[in-house]
Amino acid sequence: MTRREQTGALFLPLIDQDRIEPGDCAERARLLEEAGADALLVGSSFSLEDRLEPVILALREGTSVPVILFPGSAHGLSGEADAVLFLTLLSGRNPQYLVEEQVRSAPAVRRLGIEPIPVAYLLIGCGGARTVHYVSRTEPIPGDRPEIAMAHALAARYMGMRAVYLEAGSGADAPVPPALIRSVRDYAGLPVIAGGGIRAPEQAEAARRAGADAVVIGTALESRFSAERARAFAEAVHGGRLPVRPEA
């Protein structure tokens, strides 16, 4: 039985290395694992300091769940992580994020021995310009045009990618519409990761019910973190099913 089948969907908290002190990471990771996190994503669209590796090392002190890189560029890599979302910004037409950052990243990923997970990254317009839009210099797919997202996701499948990430943007005014999630998953047949703009457990549950295989929660936990709040999101994403942890 796969992890997805055990838990309903994967609960993936996203940690921005610029928004947490390394000294707070071990306790945060412990609480997130106890709440039901299936893995921790670490990364940022824009970073002022080189704090990635200290944050990952500190997170590892508090958890045994996988730590997966969610890089904004070729600079967002560390050999201390278990894997990296090897992202292609397929919804944009900026060659830097279609191929250039990937070419720069590939030798480092090989040298560091990190598992690459090829993922199509689709920005979905859900209200308000976000940091990722500014940094990537790309326009999002309109949230009310699911057919455009469907075509991009199908292209990702034919290109050999293993999942599609539907991203509303960190702190977006609204999450990716559930109807768009369902349409993309049914049409392209790829696992779907949904993130951005999910501020309440009910919205996380709606993404799961629409067919999301994994739900990413970032700002909603950064701004108001508590173990109870993390547990509420985990329960919404898991559909009430408890993850099975391996025995020590």
For the segment 90-133, what is each residue's pLDDT rounded down to a tens digit? 999 999 999 999 999 999 999 999 999 999 999 999 776 678 88
Mean predicted confidence (pLDDT) in 173-196: 97
Tens-place pLDDT, residues 165-181: 999 988 789 999 999 99
For the chain, give the mean pLDDT.
93
Residue-level pLDDT at 243: 57
Spatial distance between the Cα atoms of 125 and 176, rounded to a whole number of angstroms: 8
pTM (predicted TM-score): 0.94
Helices and strands (H and E) in the chain: how many: 11, 9
Rounded to the nearest 5°, which phi and psi values hold at 116?
Answer: -85, 135
* Nearest one of 60, 64, 67 to 13, comparing CA atoms: 67
Cβ pair 124, 140 in contact under 8 A: yes
* Nearest one of 205, 115, 219 to 167, comparing CA atoms: 219
* Nearest one of 85, 89, 84, 115 to 100, comparing CA atoms: 89
Spatial distance between the Cα atoms of 125 and 167, rounded to a whole number of angstroms: 9
Cβ pair 55, 61 in contact under 8 A: no
Residue-level pLDDT at 2: 63
**Terminal CA-CA length for the chain:** 20
Spatial distance between the Cα atoms of 16 and 34, rounded to a whole number of angstroms: 20
Both tokens of 140, joined, read 């999002």
Please state whether beta strands 192-195 and 67-69 pair in parallel, antiparallel, or not at all (unpaired): unpaired
Spatial distance between the Cα atoms of 115 and 86, rounded to a whole number of angstroms: 9
Mean predicted confidence (pLDDT) in 132-159: 94
Residue-level pLDDT at 1: 39
Write the DSSP symbol of residue 19. G
Encoded amino acid at 240, one letter? G
Mean predicted confidence (pLDDT) in 124-148: 87
**pLDDT tier at 248, thresholds 50, 70, 90:** very low
Return the higher-pLDDT residue of 39 and 240: 39
Residue-level pLDDT at 126: 79
Decide: helix, strand or coil at residue 218: coil
Tens-place pLDDT, residues 71-92: 999 999 999 999 999 999 999 9
Tens-place pLDDT, residues 1-33: 366 677 789 999 999 999 999 999 999 999 999
Rounded to the nearest 5°, which phi and psi values hold at 208?
Answer: -65, -45
